[in-house]
Structures are given as C-alpha cells and as structure tokens.
C-alpha cells in the first residue's frame, strides 16, 4: 500500500466482483479493478483499514449495518441526464401521447432511474401534453443515494442542457442565494412522482402494472442470464401492448419474451 492509494489484490477484486454480482447482477470485467479501488478506498480510510480484504470482512460480517448498501451505492454507475436519447421522447410526443385515451391513467415506470432526470423529463412531457388527463410515474433504483437526489429534485444548473426552454420556464425554478447555481423542479411535478428502492435482480413484488417501462442504460451492466431474468420479470409488469424502452446502445438480441420491436430501442408487449 502506498500512502496515496490502496492497492487491490486479484483475490480481493474477485471478492467484490462476486459481491456486486450476487447483490445487483452487475458484471464487473477485469478492467474494472481501478474503478473498484478508487470508489472503495474512501471506505478503507473511513474505517482506518489497511486492506480491501479487511473492508470486505467488515462489510460481510454484518455488524456495520448498512455498509453493504454503501458499497452498492459506490459500485453502481449512475450517469444520466435530462431528455437523454431524445428519440425516445420524440416517439412519446409524436406517436404515443397524441393517441392516448383521454381518461385512461397512463402508468409509467422508470426502472433504473438514477438521480431522477429521466423520470422528471417524462413528467414534464406528460404534464405538458396530457393536460388534466391522469398519469403516474413510479421511479426506482438500487442506489439509495441517487434516490435522495431524485426525491429532492434539486440539480446543478449546469445539468439542464437537454431541457427544452419552454419546460425550463414551466417546470424549473432557478436557485437564488444559498441555492444559486441550482435548479429545483417545481413542487407540483415533484409531488406527482414516487421514488422507491427496487433491486431488479430480486423478485419485484407488488410494484404495479405499467403501460410504459423505461429500462435504459442498465442492461449493459448485466450478463445474458441476468438480462433474461430481469426482462422476464419486467414484461410481467407490462400491460398487453405496453412499451419497453431500453438504451440505444443496448440489445435484446436472443431475448424475445413476447416482445416485438416497434422502433429502435422500443419494444411492445404482444
């Protein structure tokens, strides 16, 4: 160990790889050794430990309750932004929302929502287009920290690039004084969304049945077996003819499960 950076042995890396795979289904390749080292080092410092093995032992022993969740929070990658992959929002705006029956509640799940930008982007679009027609958004993630950000709806001003100007005016408040440099999603919108912790690798329980599920930029972290299992579970939570959106860089190749593709990275339940 140098003074500046802890080093991780192959066996220690394998132990964390097994942990995050078992808990979250995330499949870390050998190249992710540096990522594990840099993200977990602060926990070794926090507990004044000398090695990753000691941190792993502490985490698994269970007498520091919550430490496994801390490690999960540190090992997940939460990159996201407002109106990411605009083609999906265009599809909703041009094809799906104009045909949505007036008094039927549109039920949507942002199933790996990270810090909430995806869910709030959907909310802005629905509020703007559906007017007083009912809609619900449920948003979830495995990471407890990003969910707190999502619930607060408070973002750094420099994150707003993708938000159309008319939505910025309609749904976002510019921070002043101690909130200068931040943007707050307005209260009406914040109150409409429900954020909750859901681990997609575990049985989903009673999350509801949805017309649309966004599952974007999370499948890339899973191996084929986990992907299959997660898609199967999610399709059960879709209404017949409901839509599943995945990231444009992801694929459902060899995973059919009663879905047909209707547009790039958009599937419909048969």
Ligand X SMILES: C[S@@+](CC[C@H](N)C(=O)[O-])C[C@H]1O[C@@H](n2cnc3c(N)ncnc32)[C@H](O)[C@@H]1O
Write out the residues near ligand X by the rule CB under 6 A: 24-26, 76-80, 84, 112, 114, 118, 141-143, 146, 199-201, 216-218, 221, 247
Instruction: Report the sign of the C-alpha dihedral through residues 224, 18, 236, 264, in that order.
Output: negative
Measured from the CB atom, is 79 or 254 closer to ligand X?
Answer: 79
Q: Are 243 and 267 in contact (CB under 8 A)?
A: yes
- Closest by CA to 262, choosing from 19, 49, 96, is 96
Nearer to ligand X, 142 or 183 (CB): 142
Which of the following is catalytic: 17, 73, 127, 141?
141
Name the token pair of 116. 């909430």
Check if 39 is active-site.
Answer: yes
246 neighbors 225 (Cβ within 8 angstroms): no
- Which residue's CB is nearer to ligand X, number 24 or number 183? 24
The answer to whether the beta carbons of residues 257 and 235 sit under 8 Å apart is yes
Contacts of 198 (CB under 8 A, 6+ apart): 111, 140, 141, 142, 204, 207
Question: What span, in angstroms and rounded, lies between the C-alpha atoms of 130 and 123?
Answer: 10
- Considering the complex, what minimum distance in angstroms separates the CB of residue 158 from ligand X? 17
C-beta closer to ligand X: residue 59 or 200: 200
Q: How far is the CB of 156 from ligand X (least distance, A)?
A: 16
Q: Which two tokens stand for residue 179?
A: 């909130």
- Residue 95 contacts by C-beta under 8 Å, 6 or more apart in sequence? none
CA distances from 217 to 79, 150, 168, 247 (A): 9, 17, 25, 5
In this complex, which beta carbon is closest to ligand X, that of residue 6 or of residue 167?
A: 167
Q: How far is the CB of 248 from ligand X (least distance, A)?
A: 10
Q: Shortest gap between Cβ of 66 and ligand X (angstroms)?
A: 17
Give the shortest CB-162-to-ligand X separation in angstroms: 10
| Residue 60, token pair as written in the block | 């698994």
CA-based nearest residue to 208, from 84, 113, 111: 111
Distance CA 230, CA 219 (A): 9
Alpha-carbon 48 to chain mean position:
32
Q: How far is the CB of 114 from ligand X (least distance, A)?
A: 3
Q: Which is nearer to ligand X, 37 or 143 (CB)?
A: 143
Q: Which residues have a catalytic role annotated?
A: 39, 141
């Amino acid at each position: 160990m140098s003074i500046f950076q802890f080093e991780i042995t192959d066996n220690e890396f394998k132990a964390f790889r097994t942990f995050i795979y078992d808990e979250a289904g995330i499949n870390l390749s050998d190249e992710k050794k540096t990522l594990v080292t840099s993200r977990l080092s602060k926990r070794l410092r926090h507990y004044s430990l000398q090695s990753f093995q000691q941190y792993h032992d502490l985490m698994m022993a269970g007498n520091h309750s919550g430490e496994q969740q801390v490690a999960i929070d540190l090992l997940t990658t939460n990159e996201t932004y407002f109106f990411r992959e605009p083609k999906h929002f265009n599809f909703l705006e041009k094809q799906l929302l104009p045909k949505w029956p007036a008094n039927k509640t549109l039920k949507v799940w942002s199933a790996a929502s990270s810090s909430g930008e995806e869910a709030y982007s959907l909310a802005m679009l629905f509020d703007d287009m559906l007017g007083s027609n009912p809609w619900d958004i449920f948003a979830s993630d495995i990471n407890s920290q990003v969910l707190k950000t999502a619930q607060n709806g408070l973002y750094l001003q420099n994150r707003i690039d993708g938000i159309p100007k008319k939505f910025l005016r309609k749904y976002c408040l510019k921070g002043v004084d101690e909130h200068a440099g931040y943007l707050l999603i307005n209260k009406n919108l914040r109150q409409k969304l429900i954020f909750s912790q859901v681990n997609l690798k575990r049985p989903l329980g009673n999350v509801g049945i949805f017309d649309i599920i966004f599952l974007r930029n999370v499948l890339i972290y899973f191996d084929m077996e986990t992907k299959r299992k997660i898609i199967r579970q999610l399709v059960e939570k879709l209404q017949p003819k409901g839509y599943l959106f995945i990231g444009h860089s992801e694929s459902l190749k060899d995973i059919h499960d009663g879905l047909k593709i209707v547009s790039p990275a958009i599937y419909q339940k048969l």
